[in-house]
Structure 1
Amino acid sequence: MNDQPTGPLARLGYLAHRRARLLLVLATVALVAAAALGIGAFGKLQSGGFDDPQSPSSQAAKLLTARFGGQTDLVLVVHPHTGSVDSAAADSAGRELTSRLRGEPGLSRVVSYWDGKPAGLRTADGGDALISAHVQGSDQQAATTAADLVTRYGGDRGAVDVLVGGPRGVNHDVSTQIVKDLALAEGIAVPLTLLLLVLAFGSVVAALLPLSVGVIAIFGTFAELYVLGSLTNVSVFAINLTTALGLGLGIDYALLLVSRFREELAAGQQVRDALVTTVRTAGRTILFSAATVATALAALLVFPQFFLRSFAYAGIGVVVIAALAALIVVPALLALLGTRVNAWRLPWPRTVPGADSPAWGRLAGRVMRRPLLWALPVTALLLLAASPLLGVTFGTPDQRVLPTGAPSRQVAELLDTRFPGNDTSAIQIVTDAPVDATSLSSYARGLSRLPGVTGVDSSAGTFRDGTLLMAAGPGQTALGAPNAEHLTVTSSWTPRSGGAQDLVRALRAQPAPAGVHTLVGGGDAVLVDAKHTVGSKLPAAVGLVALTTFLLLFLFTGSVVQPLRALLLNAVSLSATLGAMVWIFQDGHLSGLLGFTPQPMDTSMTVLMFCIAFGLSMDYEVFVTSRITELHSQGATPREAVTQGLARTGRIVSTAAGLLAVSFFAFVTGKVSFLQLFGLGTGLAILLDAVLIRGVLVPAVMRLLGDAAWYAPAPLRRMHRRVGLSDEPAPPVERIPHLVSD
């Protein structure tokens, strides 16, 4: 090349060519250091994190723990092998079990049927009885204690069988099942992805390049999670996003670089010049792609639940590290491989996947000839898929996400059907100061008159319909403390139903006794608070994503119309995906096939799926727009830019999307429904975007916009020239034969 490019990315390309071995040695040292540090991440990460720590229900739980030893979160259902729970053998086993549980250092507030045999802790036929307790410690400590208790006390206990449930039992069963589900999913996805990689790249050597990026991204992010896990709460589920995105982005970025490198070699460039052109063009695409994905995941930092924030930590880390590895390690490997990048070619492909795909160009050409004829049916289909969103409801995970045979789910169903009036699902109310007997009685009477309330227990007695039903017994007097009062409210509403949530709001609206402040907790209150937290933070998160995406795409394209077009099409695609998930998981279609129980959409998982799907969609948006923009800047007509841009990126996007979708679809083989929701929804969003949005709606909208697609006010055009990170322009556009013809 006579006039060598001198921009920052071009200089990086020259550096990779001159110092390839040094860069690979440094990358290997960094990888070994990250792996040594990152292996300790597993011991730093935590389960839970679904609740807002500042919400009223979380504050109520903390106050109950501090002043009353905590609320019931572990329930054991004891079932005798023969006879009733009052038979001699069952009675002896029940008393022994109660005694051993009281001796456990991690348990408090152990309440057993065999303490006086109250009727409320026994089924009417005597076939089952209850023991309940509170598991002490932080979430992580309590999870570890609960896992140990389930292992040691669940199952056959001689004369009785024991099922362990309650919130801690559900969390244990969900965590255990997810570990099995993810192992199965990865056992399916990883070998299949490796096989598809070889087919996608057309040679064994080229197929190994994404693995280098993926391994560096995964272990580098593990090291980041180790550091963050030492400083703050980080969810253990961040590990799974790290592995999925690390390999997925490795495939995306390596496929883009390798295909461009092959394209430049095929055009007659020497290895050095082909490498510089590749880094200068595809490298710029990777930078902007990584920025859009990272900003989409950064929106999760808006939410206070550390479950969601953890995915931002992992997602941003894996995106940044994958981009750096792609821009440094892959060019260095390409410099050493040169034309040997095609070594160990598969014998049957006539063309190398990732090269020009005239089929995609011809599709774009047909769409652009009749844009409305193509766009209207596709848009109608996507809007039809989105229509179930009109009836969406949201919830939080409970035992119904588990298979019907899970012990904790069986316990929950027994409590609902065979233990009427049990208070394990009761709404909890706690005061932050003592209350005199008269004021407490008046307050409890008022609560008992609310619609749906079947009883209010307090240290002043049990109230129903505004009257004192029963004077305070030993169980009720324990609800009073020198510095607080604890009331439990049972109702006729199904837990987590709309009526139960309205009751929580009504309880909070009741005037508190003079001089004290009340906090309302329990499962229904947690749901109300979760929906409020997510709903109040969602506008800020969506606004952050939209604004940063607009700015990045403007800097990338120099147009203010292109970002708006991308955001609009992305909104249509994601709405269709979310609508399909409502139709399946909330309305229950395909429940028999997938083996789940229909229920409201998981609030946290829906937000997570939205952010990840949005980021990956913008990843492919940048891939396609990069070549269209490049061709347009070289003087191609709008029609030429779109058709040739899709011809040169269509196969890359569809191949990368297909490979990544495989990883997410593998989650559908699991048995935890919110994991199935996440996998199916994210995989579907990727495919919809790659095929219908990129293949049909993008060329249709570009044709309708014409030259207006590249509009920007003069001041913004000048700003773009200064900060748009564009290296020297490439040579004039070279048309793909037989692709563009009017």
Structure 2
Amino acid sequence: MATYLYRIGKFAFRRKGIVLALWLAILVLAGVGAATLSGPTANSFNIPGTPAQSALDLQSERFGNAEDPLTAVSANYVFAAPDGQSLDTPAYTAAIDATIAEIDKIPDVSPSVKPDGQKPLANPVAGNTAIVDQYNKLAEEDGTAPDVAAANAAALSPLSPNGNIGTVSVPISVEAADVTDALRTSLDDAAQPARDAGLTVELGGSVAQDAAPPGGTSELVGLAVAAIVLLIMFGSAAAASLPLITAIVGIGISSLAITTASGFFDLSTFTPVLAVMIGLAVAIDYSLFILARYRHELTLTDDREEAVARSVGTAGSAVVFAGATVLIALVALRVVGIPFLSQMGLAAGFAVLIAVLIALTFLPAMLGLYKGKAFAGKLKFVNTTDPEDPNAAPTNGLRWARFLVKRPAIGLIGGIVLLGVIAGPTTGLSLALPSIATSDPSTSVRKAYDLEQEGFGPGKSGPLLTIADATDVADADRTAAFGQVVDAIYEQDDVANAQIIAVNEAGDTAQILVTPSSGPNSQDTKDLVANMRAAESGVKESTGVSYGVTGQTALELDVSERLQDALVPYLAVVVGLAFVLLMLVFRSILVPLTATIGFLLSVLATFGATVFIFQEGGLGLISNPQPIVSFMPIFLIGVVFGLAMDYQVFLVSRMREEYVHGAAAKDAVVNGFKYGARVVTSAAVIMISVFAAFMAEPDSFIKSIGFALAAAVFFDAFIVRMVIIPSVMALLGDKAWWLPKWLDKILPDVDIEGAKLQKSQPKHREDATAQA
């Protein structure tokens, strides 16, 4: 491995013009593709094959008009009269009529007042009267009890029981991806007549949610912090610019390529943002590792080409294996069988792959371009002493490593206890998908949601739809059978209303609207979904009718359950493959094992901190505490595992290198830590800064994933890799590098330490433990 990468580094340095031109050509092509071939992104979280999706598919088959409630486009106006007043006041009724007239003028509104029988937009006061009259008439015709008819009418009424709040649902003709700010503005402006009359009007529904992809400012903040860290690390403006340039080119290529891919695949809005977030962080870090090694190699030789080649052969080997571990963790998300999660993993994995290739080729070519100016622009006030210089004063990393080696039990126990305490809130983890119910309370869409719940009860915002299939029931018995299904649903707890709202032309399938007593995110509503599904077999046995339950809550519940069920097999695949990879790198059984256990500690602490801050509102940092996004835990596990192994490879590979070159086990820990601590610390600070910058984004998921990734890197880099792992390595001694002889013969020698290259390099190191 080291020899092969050595040749790549030398070629890139020599043929810098070709290498740089090739990468820039790729960047331009990616830009052209993004400009001409890109398509829209969307926030669709459905999973094929789930019970809720199967019910939607049946509805589409039998009725031909099924819409995914998570992606359907509509606007929902909520009108509220001043306290103590009612919307049926003539002045308010006229104002609402004027607003509806304005809404009907908007081209993208698709109801409505047409002679083909479609319903026009109706004033909620008039709409309520029409619904009540319709149900009273039906009650007279089929003998429905008056109280049942009244309850059914109230469940569908656009006017609250006290007449204070009313709703008008407006269908939109464009797709979600084509909703523009201009359309939102037009819809909001249409409410002005009602507002002028003294009514409160809030615009809700999916159209009111800002679908603009986040990002932009956060990347700039991350780059700015990275620039400061790099300046401190190298004490040189030229050197600090190199990792930033390589990262910008790499992220430019990967983000533009992903944008191009959106024209061929249905990508979620989060996919390119997460790819940029992860790709930017690793791109800077990987270049930093190689550049730091290059600075050291220049102290051993005056031949810059040789120094670059050796840097790519040694530090580049660690970059390859670190990147491979991240790539495995991300691509393995396909194992769980969730389309949008697989897309995120593949996109982020692609960004990591580009970051690795850029670090191995573009960076050496840039060093060839800079020649002797790679470390120009010195900052006199920054101490840039090479930690590997045998004549340098003891570094803080050396002092810390010596302390841990002398008192390993303190570091081991202290680190585990600290992470265990932070992980405590994990037991209260609650999961949900992003929805209007979890949006910012200051937004109009959330205010509309809250007003609707206030006026109609919590269940109005998240009804369930039951699709009842009576194809196995005789034609004459189907109406009665559907009624029995409704009666069976009423037997469940938390049902405020259940009624048949449509029967298809064939008469064999019915839509039953179920209004829960609780809100969409309530555990009672989730229990209702589960209980209705559990009762389905008994209902089918007694009536011959089978049914499926769908709706927003049901879809969210299915997504969350599928994610939880996939967690264990995903962990098995990722940990298993990475364990084998780490055995190749370290030629050890215990080092990969301790690395994996350390990762689990980091993840648990990250979950605990995230739950405490974002779900419980700890420290008052979040104004809108809410459940954690359902797919964040499994995605976070994949990313954190890859990044955790990054630091394990970069830090422990230096220990391995010292051990292979003859140092005693504890001396190898001290020397390896001394050589790698500064670089790993700088890399971790950069990565933390890049991730933390995304907390400034308005989207709650991006905000929480940015925090979680930043916290995970902090816990893993500074507690696990710099406290627990050195302590464990000191306790294990030579046993840390034990590998059965039969396994040693089977495993290929990847030479990550560059032992073959070392034969021709003079030894200029002294044991760090011998220094003053």
Q: TM-score, normalised by structure 2?
A: 0.85
Residue 153 (str. 1) matches residue 187 (str. 2): yes
Kindly indicate whether the alpha-carbon contact (under 8 Å) linking 2:560 and 2:631 is maintained by their aligned counterparts in 1: no
Matched, 1:90 2:127: no
Contact 2:458–2:520 under 8 Å retained in 1: no
The residue number in structure 2 matching 1:583 is: 612
Summarize the alignment of residues 559-638 of structure 1 with structure 2, pairs less than 5 Å apart: 559-590=588-619, 592-597=620-625, 599-638=626-665
> Aligned equivalents of 1:662 and 1:94: distance in 2?
50
Q: Distance in 1 between matches of 2:64 and 2:745?
A: 65
Between stretches 520-529 and 83-92, larger displacement belongs to 83-92
Change in 2 beyond 3 A, CA 1:80/1:586: closer
Amino acid at match of 2:274: L
- Aligned pair partner of 2:496 in 447, 454, 465: 454
- C-alpha spacing 1:714/1:667, structure 2 compared with 1 (3 Å): same
* Superposition pairs of residues 435-446 of structure 1, within 5 angstroms: 436-446=478-488
Query: What are the Cα deviations for residues 310-335 of structure 1, in whole angstroms up to 9, with x where unaligned?
Result: 22122111111111111111112223
**1:722: how far off?**
4.5
Separation in structure 2 between the aligned mates of residue 371 and residue 105 of structure 1, nearest angstrom: 68
Render the CA deviation track for 1:594-640: whole Å, top value 9, x for unaligned.
3222x322211232222222221211111112211111111111112
Q: Which residue pairs with 1:472 in the alignment?
A: none
Cα distance between partner residues in 2 of 1:602 and 1:355: 45
Aligned to 1:505: 530
Partner secondary structure for residue 490 of structure 1: strand
Whether 2:282 is the aligned partner of 1:243: answer no
Match of 2:176 in 1: 142
**Deviation at residue 565 of structure 1 after TM alignment:** 1.1
Q: 2:727 aligns with which of 700, 721, 724?
A: 700
Contact 2:235–2:382 under 8 Å retained in 1: yes
Which residues of 2 match residues 5-404 of structure 1 at below 5 A?
Answer: 7-40=3-36, 43-64=38-59, 67=63, 69-70=65-66, 74=74, 75-79=76-80, 84-95=86-97, 97-98=99-100, 107=110, 112=122, 113=124, 114-117=126-129, 118=131, 120-133=157-170, 141-145=175-179, 149-155=183-189, 156-160=191-195, 162-166=201-205, 168-169=206-207, 172-173=209-210, 175-176=211-212, 179=214, 182-352=215-385, 358-404=395-441
Distance 2:207 2:680 in 1: 43
Secondary structure of 1:405's counterpart equals coil
Distance 1:225 1:665, change over 3 A: same
Q: Is the contact between residue 628 and residue 645 of structure 1 (CA under 8 Å) also seen in structure 2?
A: yes
SS at match of 2:731: helix
The residue number in structure 2 matching 1:471 is none
Report the Cα offset of residue 361 of structure 1: 2.1
More displaced stretch, 101-110 vs 304-313: 101-110
Shift in Å, 1:490: 1.6
Question: Structure 2 matches for 1:722-741, cutoff 5 A?
Answer: 722=749, 728=756, 730-731=758-759, 734-736=764-766, 739-740=769-770
Of the three residues 740, 752, 756, the one matched with 1:713 is: 740
- What is the SS of the residue equivalent to 1:164? strand
1:456 deviates by 0.8
Classify 1:154/1:606 alpha carbon distance in 2 versus 1 (closer, same or farther; 3 Å): farther
Which deviations, in whole Å up to 9, do the C-alpha atoms of 1:498-517 show, x marking residues without a partner? 22111101111223555554
Structure 2 CA distance, aligned partners of 1:6 and 1:505? Answer: 56
1:470: which partner in 2?
none
Q: Which amino acid aligns with 1:587?
A: E
**What one-letter code is carried by the residue in structure 1 that aligns with 2:341?**
L
8 Å CA contact retained: 1:201, 1:353: no
Between 7-16 and 635-644, the greater mean CA deviation after superposition:
7-16
Tell me which amino acid in the other structure corresponds to 1:313.
L
Q: Is the 8 A contact 2:222 2:686 kept in 1?
A: no
SS of corresponding position for 2:77: strand
Structure 1 residues 617 and 332, CA gap change in structure 2 (3 angstroms): same
Distance 1:20 1:725, change over 3 A: same
Cα pair 2:99 2:193 within 8 Å, conserved? no
For 1:421 and 1:670, how far apart are their aligned partners in 2? 29
Q: Distance in 1 between matches of 2:417 and 2:283?
A: 34
Partners of 1:318 and 1:487 in 2: how far apart? 46
Q: How does 1:637-716 map to 2 (within 5 A)?
A: 637-716=664-743
1:528 to 557, 578, 583: 557
Question: Kindly tell me: are residues 355 and 413 of structure 1, through their superposed partners in 2, closer, same or farther at Cα, counting changes over 3 Å?
Answer: farther
Distance 1:552 1:352, change over 3 A: same
Range 681-690 or range 490-499, more displaced = 490-499
Shift of 1:135: 5.1
CA pair 45-247 structure 1, distance change in 2 beyond 3 A: same
Paired residue total:
709
- Would the alpha carbon gap of residues 76 and 688 (structure 1) be closer, same or farther in structure 2, given more than 3 Å must change? same
CA contact (8 A) 1:185 1:666 kept: yes
Letter in 2 for 1:10: Y
Q: Kindly report the root-mean-square deviation, in angstroms, between the aligned alpha carbons of the 2 structures.
A: 2.9
Number of the residue aligned with 1:550: 579
Question: Gapped runs of 5+ residues in structure 2?
Answer: 112-118, 132-153
Residues 726 and 92 (structure 1 numbering): CA distance in 2 closer, same or farther, change over 3 Å?
Answer: same
Given that residues 496 and 527 in structure 1 are in contact (C-alpha distance below 8 angstroms), is that contact kept between their aligned partners in structure 2? no
Cα contact 1:479–1:487 (8 A) shared by 2: no
Code of the aligned partner of 1:54: G
What's the CA shift for 1:661? 0.9
1:349 aligned partner, one-letter code: V
Whole-angstrom distance in 2 between the partners of 1:515 and 1:724: 68
Kindly indicate whether the alpha-carbon contact (under 8 Å) linking 1:110 and 1:134 is maintained by their aligned counterparts in 2: no
Q: Deviations over 1:522-572 (max 9, x none)?
A: 122122201211012111211111011111111111112211111011111
- Aligned twin of 1:462: none
Aligned pair in 2 of structure 1 residues 37, 530: CA closer, same or farther (>3 Å)? same
Report how far residue 151 of structure 1 moved. 2.9
- Offset of residue 478 of structure 1: 6.8
1:232-266 per-residue CA deviation (whole Å, 9 max, x = no partner) reads: 22123222223323332221111111111110111
Distance 1:612 1:22 in 2: 34
Q: Is the 8 A contact 2:503 2:509 kept in 1?
A: no
Q: Which residue in the other structure is 1:490 paired with?
A: 515
Distance 2:547 2:182 in 1: 34
Residue segments in structure 1 that go unaligned for 5+ positions in a row: 459-475
Cα 1:148–1:340 shift into 2, 3 Å: closer
Instruction: Give distance in 2, aligned partners of 1:299 and 1:255.
Output: 27
- Code of the residue aligned with 1:550 in structure 2: it is F
- State the alpha-carbon separation in 2 of the partners of residues 649 and 52 from structure 1: 44
The letter of the residue matching 2:732 is L
Aligned residue number for residue 469 of structure 1: none
Query: How many angstroms apart in 2 are the aligned matches of 1:358 and 1:351?
Result: 11
Following superposition, the deviation at residue 518 of structure 1 comes to 1.6
CA contact (8 A) 2:398 2:671 kept: yes
Q: CA deviation at 1:187?
A: 4.8
Structure 2 counterpart of 1:233, one-letter code:
D
Secondary structure of 2:193's aligned partner: coil
| TM-score under structure 1 length normalisation | 0.88
